[in-house]
Homo-oligomer: A and B are copies of this chain.
Amino acid sequence: MSLIVIGTLAYDDIETAHAARKGVLGGSATYCAVAASHFTKPRLVGVVGNDFQESDVKKLQASGVDTEGLEVADGKTFRWGGRYEEDWNTRHTTFTDLNVLEHFAPKVPAGQRDSKFVFLANAAPAVQLQALEQVEHPTFVMADTMNLWIDIAREDLTNLLRRVDAIVLNDEEARMLTGESNLIRAAGQVLGMGPKLVVLKKGEHGAFLMGSDVHFSLPAYPVENVVDPTGAGDSFAGGFMGYLTAQNSIDPAHLRKAMLHGTVTASFCVEDFGIGPLAERNADELAARYDDLLGIVTV
């Protein structure tokens, strides 16, 4: 089966309470695709500028990412800056230079329109819809979003929600979208907006999955040394979607296991800046951590 990941690639400047890095290869689609590459050969669709390093393309390819849908536009790659507070839970955006992203119109290569599993990484909902329309007969479409779009593009987002099978939200976004502070009730309301499944992420407190015939809750993997949480949510989505694609299934038993795989990829992601740990861990390391997590949650 085929997974297509459509979203952003970026160079990030990141500051934590302990360290800082500039020009780190990032972006929602990057993290998702590299995480998914442990399970399938994901098709990455996004735009970069002509300052994008050839070595970074090679890195993605070496991880098993199909970069045919990587468009190089005239201009600079999207750049984002973020700073984390000591507690990791508070993130400040220090700058956003959209650059080539400003006029991004995703183009799914002709040979990838048959993709069956689709992840629409965070982008303007109108852009996500535009991308989705290019996929012919998807089996399972999951979208991500952010508070900005809930705020300024709610109508587009409402349209998107009617077209996707699943939406991934963090706690803040779920509350903002529904006006409901209780996360279980918020997830229930989101299900009423269209998607059959909601994945609700709670950062260090884990995530839960809710649908009409499935309710599954999972703690985060207990990472002892968080270095940089950037990309954790997208890495989660990558492990989740990658596993489902490899299984070619969205039945509840596989959805539950997909939550564990997503938690594992997210846990590797936060152990260093950038995609390093996601790209470098091998199948044995993933399997060992999966077993460890399974041991922690098995009654």
A residues with a Cβ closer than 8 A to B are 86-87, 181-185, 202, 205-206, 208, 215-219, 222-226, 256-257, 260, 294-299
Candidates B87, B208, B297; contact of A181 at CB < 8 Å: B87
Q: How many copies of this chain are found per oligomer?
A: 2
Is there an interface contact between B219 and A208, defined as CB atoms closer than 8 Å? yes
Q: What are 15 A-B pairs at a CB distance below 8 A?
A: A87-B181, A182-B224, A183-B222, A184-B222, A184-B224, A205-B206, A215-B295, A216-B297, A216-B299, A217-B297, A256-B298, A256-B299, A257-B299, A260-B299, A297-B299
Is there an interface contact between A296 and B217, defined as CB atoms closer than 8 Å? yes
Is there an interface contact between A219 and B222, defined as CB atoms closer than 8 Å? no
Candidates B87, B215, B294, B295; contact of A296 at CB < 8 Å: B215
Instruction: Give the shortest distance, in Å, between A199 (CB) and chain B (any CB).
Output: 14
Candidates B86, B217, B224, B256; contact of A222 at CB < 8 Å: B217
Known contacts A217-B219, A218-B219, A219-B219; can you find 9 more A-B pairs with CB under 8 A?
Answer: A184-B222, A202-B205, A205-B206, A208-B219, A215-B296, A218-B297, A256-B298, A294-B299, A297-B299
Cβ contacts under 8 Å, A86 to chain B: 181
Is there an interface contact between B298 and A299, defined as CB atoms closer than 8 Å? yes
Q: Known contacts A87-B181, A181-B86; is A296 also within 8 Å of B219 by CB?
A: no
Cβ contacts under 8 Å, A225 to chain B: 182
Q: How far is the CA of A257 from the CA of B202 in the complex (A)?
A: 24
Cβ contacts under 8 Å, A217 to chain B: 219, 222, 296-297
Cβ contacts under 8 Å, A206 to chain B: 205-206, 219
Cβ contacts under 8 Å, A296 to chain B: 208, 215-217
Cβ contacts under 8 Å, A184 to chain B: 222-224
Q: How far is the CA of A139 from the CA of B66 in the complex (A)?
A: 60
Instruction: Give the shortest distance, in Å, between A190 (CB) and chain B (any CB).
Output: 15
